[in-house]
Structure 1
Amino acid sequence: MKRLLLAGAAFSVATAASAADMAARPYAKAPPAAVVAAYNWSGFYIGAMGGYGWDSENSSGGFGGGTVGYNWQFPGSQFVFGVEVDAAGSGIKDSLTADIGGGVLATEEIKINSFGSVTGRAGFAMDAALIYAKGGFAWANRKDSVSALGMTISDSQTHTGYTIGGGLEYLFTPNWSAKGEYMYTSLGSKTYNLGGDVFDSGTVDFHTIKVGVNYHFR
């Protein structure tokens, strides 16, 4: 009986000592999991866009066209850089009708037939949302025409200059995004000739608000 009691006591002491050793061992915390961005904006994309444009001299109208571009976003960074080219057919115009004498009415129309740009883009990505600014080279084909007595004389010139603005783009699927954008465009003057009446157009400035959808190649 005494042997059994001694053996039990010895077992209890050994168990307690073992438990004390286990409690004293340091706890190894697992390393934090690497944070991986759910979205990456890098790659080529193409899209369609359209909107409304106006200037300070009452010209206004709609437009529509296409876009192609490329984005770079480095792993672990929220900054996105890119280049973008776009072009659109335009109905931005203004017209004025006046009596030029003898009851003869003449109508002058100034219209931007088309415009486009080659720009750099810099943005800040918040997963599926991208806030960006852009700017660069811009061009527009502008037509000036006068109609009277059933006849029309006209001249068109291509103006060049710069554009600057920004917008918000959102990836609603991994490959498709929608955007809203404002741009200001300022183009240099050109000389027009309307049937011998030669004049300088002055600077061509206009504003645009556009919406669009892009497909991103992955």
Structure 2
Amino acid sequence: MSPSRLASAAVLAAMLTTPAFAADLPDIVFEEPVPLPEPARFNWSGFYAGGHAGVVAGSVDPGIVGQKSIYENAFIGGAHVGVSAELAPMFIVGIEGDFDGSTYDETRVYGTSPVNAQMDWTASARGRFGLAFGQFVNMPGVADVQAYATGGLALAKFRAATPGYSDTNTHTGWTVGGGVEAAVTQNLTVRAEYLYTSYANELYALGPTVGDLAVEARTNVVRGGVSYYF
């Protein structure tokens, strides 16, 4: 057989056997990838309670003309309770109350007499307005995040003393601030916040040397906290 006829026979044999070989191959199925489930979004609606601690920078003005205020940085810590509701998937409103103890205790000499100022406790009742934005950020271990503004009424018990005389008063005032709160589980959140508070004047009777002082106070508080949502 000539070489050309031999080549033609080989091509014909290949054409006849290819369909049979292809029939023996398994069908290849391309499956769509299964999307990963999205993490459950945190539910900000409901009651919550928790604790917090931080630093208070306090300024107590004794009302003495030409004299500086009594400044002190101290520890502050306590508990908070509140209730919040989601008006929409991103908007959260609520009310919160807190109570704190403080180590604020500082003395300044006015003329020849030392005046000591202490802040025993503070409390506030505040409204909160938050904006949840966790769906726009991808943070491992965080179900949702909200930034919030807060403000309301404040109370604080102060004590003033000079040698042989002491007086206490509960001051009323207002407070305003804001913070960020992140949900780390479906019930637990962590927060960081700042509060500025201004307290109205109260009169302190501190004896004949110092006299009656019209004392006012202002505080700046930075604190962190943990809350449990029920």
TM-score under structure 2 length normalisation: 0.70
2:149 corresponds to which letter in structure 1? A
SS at match of 2:201: coil
Structure 2 unaligned blocks of 5 or more: 1-37, 60-68, 135-143
Are 1:117 and 2:124 an aligned pair? yes
2:41 corresponds in structure 1 to 38
1:52 aligns with 55
Q: What residue identity is the alignment partner of 2:74?
A: G
Name 2:138's counterpart in structure 1: none
Structure 2 partner of 1:24: none
AA aligned to 2:118 is K
Letter in 1 for 2:119: I
Does residue 82 of structure 1 match 2:94? yes
Deviations 1:166-207 (A, max 9, x none): 000111111111100000001110010113522211x31111
Specify the SS of the correspondent of 1:54.
strand
Question: What's the CA shift string for 1:135-163, capped at 9, x where partnerless?
Answer: 0001110110123xxxx421010010100
SS in 1 for 2:44: coil
Asked if 1:171 is matched to 2:183, the reply is: yes
Change (3 A) 1:99 1:170: same
Equivalences for residues 61-140 of structure 1 within 5 A: 61-74=74-87, 76-97=88-109, 100=112, 106-127=113-134, 128-140=144-156
Structure 1 position 126, deviation (Å): 2.0
CA pair 36-177 structure 1, distance change in 2 beyond 3 A: closer
Which residue number corresponds to residue 212 of structure 2?
198
Which residue number corresponds to residue 161 of structure 2? 145
Match status 1:210 vs 2:223: yes
Runs of 4+ in 1 over 4 A off after TM superposition: none
Q: Does the 8 Å CA contact 1:168/1:181 hold for their aligned counterparts?
A: yes
How many residue pairs get aligned? The number is: 172
Q: Deviations over 1:42-62 (max 9, x none)?
A: 000000011111135422211
1:6-45 to 2 correspondence within 5 Å?
Answer: 38-45=41-48
| Deviation, structure 1 residue 212 | 0.6
- How does the TM-score come out when normalised to structure 1? 0.73
Check the 8 A contact 1:60/1:93 in 2, yes or no: no
- Does the CA-based 8 Å contact 1:109-1:145 persist in structure 2? yes
Shift of 1:77: 2.1
